[in-house]
Amino acid sequence: LDGGVDPASGKRRVEACLDDWLAIRADTVAKKTAVVDRALKRLTPIWFLNMGVRHIGEREVARVLEDLLRQGLAEGSVKRYRASLSSFFGWCVREKYFLVNPVSLTRAPRSSDEPTEMLPFAEEELEVVWERWAARNRRLADIMLLLGWTGLRWAEARAVRVGDVMKVPTPGLVICRSNPEGVGLKSTKRRRSRLVPLADRVLDIVAELSKDKAATDLLCTTDTGSPLHRSAVVRTLAWEATAAGRRIHDLRHTAAGLWLARGVDPGTVQAWLGHESIATTNRYLHYLGTGAHRAGLERLNAPRGNAGAMGTSETDTQ
């Protein structure tokens, strides 16, 4: 061994090592993570896969990341690719192929494109689009309204069951599982359950969705009782024509806005949304403004009086 590293094993091609790693990961990580890992081989260029694993350095990794961004892969996807690549090379270090993870020496490149901004509905806007959706399919329209008042992620809405509906001490939904399309049932994003309140506006909707169902049945289903599928829902509701430029995920942002606008504490909103960090929740405060911002604007718009904050004194004019 040379410094604890086997020189012979370091000559193995990246592709062969990657195949070994993927086989291990298939049995040791969540299904969604395994899907992301499998994309690693598809996205990695042939020249990189054919190199000896010990010959991969910071330059080669940076080149791959920059090329992916240049080819149109979203910045978030490049970051996920980098995370998977780092996990792979971390495993290579543990297998004594080399001593230093080359991905740790790089940073994911930033896109020059404008980031996708959150675009929540105001409460009145949500009611307007609900009416448009209801004209096409009342049940799906009700489910979209439920998302707008509960902030459920799409995969969580696909997994919530009738038995997750709580009536006492207060109405709510227990969110403890997720069902991403193409992945299958799994735990929630942070692997923690949470209780999301049900406002009066959606209580009747939840009651109707629960009607004639067993506790183990899915709560949010189509008219035929089938699970939700994004493409079918978007098509049925004519989303491009009816949703005023929003995404389904903007319904989650809408719920946060509705709660904060009614004075719910940001820490409580963090718990209801299932955010790991309060910094994530604070993005909504920046978007909506705080009570102090609104009070400040009211002062700016108030008629100017002799003793107003903008008034001048004799000292000021000297």
DSSP summary character for residue 53: G
* Ranges of CATH 1.10.443.10 domains, the chain: 123-294
Residues of the chain with CATH 1.10.150.130: 9-105
Measured from the Cβ of residue 44, the count of other Cβ atoms closer than 10 Å reads 19
Q: Which CATH superfamily is domain 123-294 in?
A: Intergrase catalytic core (1.10.443.10)
The per-residue pLDDT for 3 is: 55
pLDDT of residue 318: 46
Question: Which residues touch 51 (CB under 8 Å, ≥6 apart)?
Answer: 13, 14, 60
Tokens of 135: 């004209």
What pLDDT, on a 0 to 100 scale, did the predictor assign at position 286?
66
pTM above 0.75, yes or no: no
Q: Tell me the pLDDT of the chain (318 aa) as tens digits.
A: 555 666 777 789 999 999 999 999 988 887 778 888 888 999 999 999 999 998 999 999 999 999 998 888 888 889 989 999 999 999 999 988 888 999 998 988 876 555 557 888 999 999 999 999 999 999 999 999 999 999 999 999 999 999 999 998 999 999 999 988 877 787 777 678 899 999 999 999 999 999 999 999 999 999 999 999 999 999 999 999 999 999 999 999 999 989 988 889 889 999 999 888 887 787 777 666 555 566 667 778 888 765 444 444 444 444
As given in the structure block, the two tokens for residue 203 are 């209580």
- CA 215, 217, 221, 224 dihedral sign is negative
The H or E element containing residue 196 is strand 194-197
Q: Which residues, in sequence order, are CB contacts of 126 under 8 Å at separation 6+? A: 145, 148, 254
Q: Residue 166: phi, psi to the nearest 5?
A: -105, 140
Report the CATH number of the 9-105 domain.
Answer: 1.10.150.130
Residue 76, both tokens? 């978030």
